[in-house]
Amino acid sequence: MSESTIDGSVRYVVRGEHPGAILPGKRAEMWRDIYLFPGAVVGGGIMGNQLEIEGGGARVMGSIFTRGSIQIIAAPTSTPPEPVRFDSVACAGQTIITREPFSARVSFLADVFAEQVNLSNALIRGNLYARRATLRNCVVMGGVFCQGHLVLQNVILSTFRAASVEVQPELMLFFPFAIAEQPIQLDFSAKCLSFTNLLRLDQVELDQQAVVSMDAKDVVEVREPEDPACSPFYMLSLGSRILDLNQVKRQFEENLRFIKTLSLGDHLSQTAKSTFENLDLARVESLLFSLLANPPKGDLERSAPLSTIEDREEILQFIKNIISGTNS
């Protein structure tokens, strides 16, 4: 049942079902404020100056665009707030905010755009784009992209890219990387869920071995190799923990020269030979035949939890040798 009240070009109030969109019919109505109360269901989109949802219990099925803010506030009475749902894109020229003490779930089922965002107990199924943002007790299925400062407290998200970031427990990432232009201060263990079977979360208890902890050692400074003058950025990532690809490349090239010396030593130039002039070929041959007689175990699967790698001393030593650039 439709229950909407229009107060000239200033206010539009919805308390029940509104079958269509709420759009300005003339220029003055672009500055109209829209108010949704518990039980309000807007079947289309909304365009106006401000959108305020009081007490929750509202749903907007179309896209939202406001020149000013989108605010979700608690009712002045002691009535517990009800969930709020936005089915499509939400875009605000200024702010999107849930004001304390509003404690019900606010669900955005698509992307969110605003100059400033301050959300608590929110679910975002898309990406969040903002100049500044604060997220507390939120789950973001996409990424959070912030031109300025980003605050994350007790948040699960795919990844983030921000000018600067402040992270507080807990932080869990679906992707094993996140980026900021300023150093990322991580004083606790964040969690990476990339190796977790998310499809089975509702069937079995979370496999702790598939959750990888990330700490301050996983924050690395990255510079653009083609432009050394370019400002660095900082990445929270698992990549540098296991492999430094430049070191791997150098190790590969060194091994290639080593094999050439073993197999084609009589045909190499004196310069090429000098690199390995102190090499004891007889000892190397003995080691290789010992390896042939006692081949290394091949029980490490192509896809394995990091705990498996951590239990393999020879793999750890191999990784250390790669990073240090030494031969074992």
Q: Which amino acid is at 292?
A: L
pLDDT at 264: 57
8 Å CB contact between 88 and 62: yes
Q: How far apart, in Å, are the Cα atoms of 95 and each of 52, 68, 133, 134, 295?
A: 11, 7, 10, 11, 63
pLDDT at 302: 40
pLDDT at 304: 45
pLDDT at 273: 58
Q: Which residues contact 19 (CB under 8 A, 6 or more apart)?
A: 2, 43, 44
Q: Which residues contact 68 (CB under 8 A, 6 or more apart)?
A: 49, 50, 92, 93, 94, 95
pLDDT at 44: 97
pLDDT at 195: 74
Q: Which residues contact 2 (CB under 8 A, 6 or more apart)?
A: 16, 17, 18, 19
Closest alpha carbon to 185 in 167, 203, 202:
167
Q: How far apart, in Å, are the Cα atoms of 169 and each of 184, 185, 189?
A: 14, 12, 8
pLDDT at 298: 43
Distance in angstroms (rounded) separating the CA atoms of residues 30 and 49? 6
8 Å CB contact between 250 and 325: yes
Distance in angstroms (rounded) separating the CA atoms of residues 172 and 152? 10
Q: Which residues contact 178 (CB under 8 A, 6 or more apart)?
A: 159, 160, 161, 165, 184, 235, 236, 237
Q: In this structure, what DSSP letter does residue 276 have?
A: T
299: enclosing H helix or E strand = none
**How many other CB atoms are found less than 10 A from the CB of residue 322?**
19
pLDDT at 319: 52
DSSP letters spanning 35-104 = EE-TT-EESS-EEESEEEEESB--EE-S-EEESS-EEEE--SSSPPPB-EEE-S-EEEEEEEEE-TT--S
Ranges in the chain, pLDDT < 50:
1, 203, 298-304, 306, 322, 327-328
Distance in angstroms (rounded) separating the CA atoms of residues 152 and 144? 10
Distance in angstroms (rounded) separating the CA atoms of residues 97 and 233? 29
